[in-house]
Amino acid sequence: MRSLGDFDVAEEAVQDSLVAALEHWPRDGIPTNPGAWLMTTARRKGIDRLRRETRYREKVAQLEETAMPTSSSSMPDERLELIFTCCHPALAREAQLALTLRSVAGLTTAEIARAFLQSEATIAQRLVRAKRKIVDAKIPFRVPEGHELPDRVSEVLAVLYLMFNEGYLATGARGAMDRDLASEAEWLTSLLARLMPDEPEVLGLLALMRFNLARADARFDADGELVLLRDQDRAKWDRRKIDETFLLVGRFLRMRSPGAYQLQALIAGAHADAKSWETTRWPEILRSYDSLLMYGDTPVVRLNRAIALWHVDGPTAALADVDALAAELSGYHLFHATRAELFRALGRTADARAADEQALELTENPAERALLARRLARRSR
């Protein structure tokens, strides 16, 4: 992207280089430095594409004069630069998020559409317009100067958050959990934390990610089946990582500048700190959700709050709050799965089964589908 200055040409060049690798590597062997091989090949493919354009001479001359990087050691920073490029204020916020998830995280259009609860066609059009805007407006490929960072960080954090969620709660072909994608999001957030060590929301997002990753080994059983939080073997949680993450929490709490990511980190921390499901501090979690609503009163936050309310005031109160979200979340599988849990707590088994069946129809996550299928099979016996 830095060399070509055009998202479409850059993406096509990279894809061409991957095709070339699939053709050559099985025959010639994997090169010593696969990344450099792909970069060199992509660059050559990009030049070939530009040569086919009517106004190519100036771009080709610029490319041929640009020195190739000698190693891939700068790649992490370049990915951060690409995130800031995609999150330029000249782009609409929805376009910023979609473009970064596509270009940096490598999510498909379908995966991005699911993350936004929108159609693939809408996301595809958004991506096309965003890439054209970057080229037409000559948006620079760089991390902003220090004084520019505060105005740009919220969009960057939103992208990293969605990137992590797609990896941690992976959909479709990614399987139950794409640990590489989730870990990459955490790592990029840690780079941002080094860049902005006094930004509490950056620390909050980093803490949220690390609390969740600390229990990754307990999320699946020996057969690869999803294990819900309440049923997880907490001995498998990484207590050292949890303790280290609470140091991050202490840092952002001392800054006394609360925000949405910090509150979510506090919720995740309350779960991580509980030695058992029964000792979870639900009133504390409910208070955090109440505060979170002030930063973003969304249907999904209210759905999660209802789960905490269940454990404080009972399933009847929680079900009333969940049912109030029907118009906005009827196409969201976790809405129906939550209703099923509440129906079971109230002894309404037929309603619970119907809700689970709706949830099963709406999710593509293999582990979640298996969990719902097992639940339905048990209830039919």
Tell me the pLDDT of the chain (381 aa) as tens digits: 777 777 888 889 999 999 999 999 999 999 999 999 999 999 989 888 877 765 556 666 666 666 555 544 444 457 788 888 888 888 888 888 888 888 887 888 988 887 787 899 999 999 999 988 888 888 887 777 777 777 788 888 988 998 898 888 764 445 545 667 888 899 999 989 988 899 999 999 999 999 999 998 999 888 878 899 999 999 999 999 999 999 999 999 999 999 999 999 999 999 999 999 999 999 999 999 999 999 999 999 999 999 999 999 999 999 999 999 999 999 999 999 999 999 999 999 999 999 999 999 998 878 888 899 998 988 665
**Residues in a beta bridge with 226:** 220
Structural domains for the chain? 1-71 (no CATH), 281-381 (1.25.40.10)
> In the chain, count of helices (H) and strands (E)?
19, 0
- Residue 74: the pLDDT is 41
Cα distances (Å, whole numbers) of residue 189 to 88, 118, 229, 303, 332: 18, 26, 25, 27, 28
CB 193 within 8 A of CB 210: no
Side-chain half-sphere exposure of 117, counting CA atoms within 13 A:
12
The CA-based dihedral angle spanning residues 320, 326, 327, 331, taken in that order and rounded to the nearest 10 degrees? 160
Q: How many other CB atoms are there within 10 angstroms of residue 163's CB atom?
A: 27
220 beta partners: 226
Judge whether 372 and 360 are in contact, CB under 8 Å: yes
Cβ neighbors of 378 (< 8 A, separation 6 or more) are none
- Cα separation, 216 vs 196, in Å, equals 27
How high is the pLDDT of residue 136? 84
Give the integer Cα–Cα distance in Å for 91 and 158.
14
- Write the DSSP symbol of residue 262: H
> What pTM was estimated for this model as a whole?
0.78
**Which secondary-structure segment (H or E) carries 284?**
helix 282-293
Helix, strand, or coil (residue 250): helix
Closest by CA position to 62, among listed 3, 131, 137: 3
What is the CB-side half-sphere exposure of residue 363 using CA atoms within 13 A? 25
